[in-house]
Structure 1
Amino acid sequence: MALDTEELREIMGDSAYGGSLGERMGLEFLEASVERVVGRMPVKGNTQPYGILHGGASCVLAETLGSVGSAIHAGKGRIAVGIEINATHHRSASEGHITGVATPVHLGRTLATWDIEITDDSGKRVCTSRLTCMVRDAPGA
């Protein structure tokens, strides 16, 4: 079951939206559940000096999607923080949007690992990433 914006805000808090790096990069969530998190962001404004998508932008998209999925998995009173990310950049993108689809590999009590496939507007794979998050009790919980 996908969560709406208010449900995501309830789980992640306002920091998931207001002033976050993903927000500044134009990231928008299209779908969010413990089974799958989908989001996209524009290439424009997220490029390296050569006018192509910055590899770090792909990592921001991947980490944000996997972190949101991990936070949904963690539930209320718990948080998820990224502890490892890797990315293989397959091709460049210079216009339009990139879309990331995060699916869980492992959802445990203390670790959650996600595969994230990032494609361009034509459906060609731009990047493959894997993210592992640590799941723990929220501070003060």
Structure 2
Amino acid sequence: MMTNEEILELSKKVCKNTLMETLEIEFTEVGEDYLIAKMPVTPKVHQPDGVLHGGASVALAESVGSMASYVFLDTEEFFIRGIEISANHLKSIAEGFVFARASFIHKGRTTQLCEIKITDEANNLISIVKLTTIALPKKK
């Protein structure tokens, strides 16, 4: 089992040259059953009226939920893929940071269900997301 520091270091490594790097998503905290990432809210992730784009929130949620499945399951044997996501956007934000905390509702051998709460720096709930991932066997 990897240490928390190893998990955070791995997350930096696997995010190179990906959407996560483009959106400046940074994994910041890992616990026994959760993973947290943050993303800056800048014009790069705004919709035309100057607030956080829902698609950027969903990208953040899928990134942290998929990474949680990746680090908490046996990825030597499996690929992790998102298969369904649903989001409710509850509050807007124009600047600062948002934080996504992924925790498991169900951690099965084949499918996993994560709840991802996205909050602002004052811990206001911005979005709540459910993500289903699947573990697919790697070809030998």
Verify same fold: TM over 0.5.
yes
Tell me which residue corresponds to 1:61.
60
Q: Which amino acid aligns with 1:84?
A: E
Tell me which residue corresponds to 2:22.
24
Q: What RMSD in Å do the two structures reach over aligned CA positions?
A: 2.0
Q: Deviations over 1:90-131 (max 9, x none)?
A: 010001000011100000010011000001111111000000
Where has structure 1 moved over 6 Å in runs of 4 or more? Answer: none
Alignment of 1:48-127 (within 5 A): 48-75=47-74, 76-127=76-127
Distance 1:78 1:29 in 2: 22
User: What SS class does the counterpart of residue 123 from structure 1 fall into?
Assistant: coil
Contact kept in structure 1, 2:40 and 2:97, CA below 8 Å: yes
Q: Deviations over 1:24-67 (max 9, x none)?
A: 10100012356101000001021111110000011011101110
The count of corresponding residues between Structure 1 and Structure 2 is: 137
TM-score under structure 1 length normalisation = 0.88
TM-score under structure 2 length normalisation = 0.89
Distance 2:86 2:6 in 1: 28
Distance 1:5 1:103 in 2: 19
- Listed as ranges, the gaps of 5+ residues in structure 1 are none
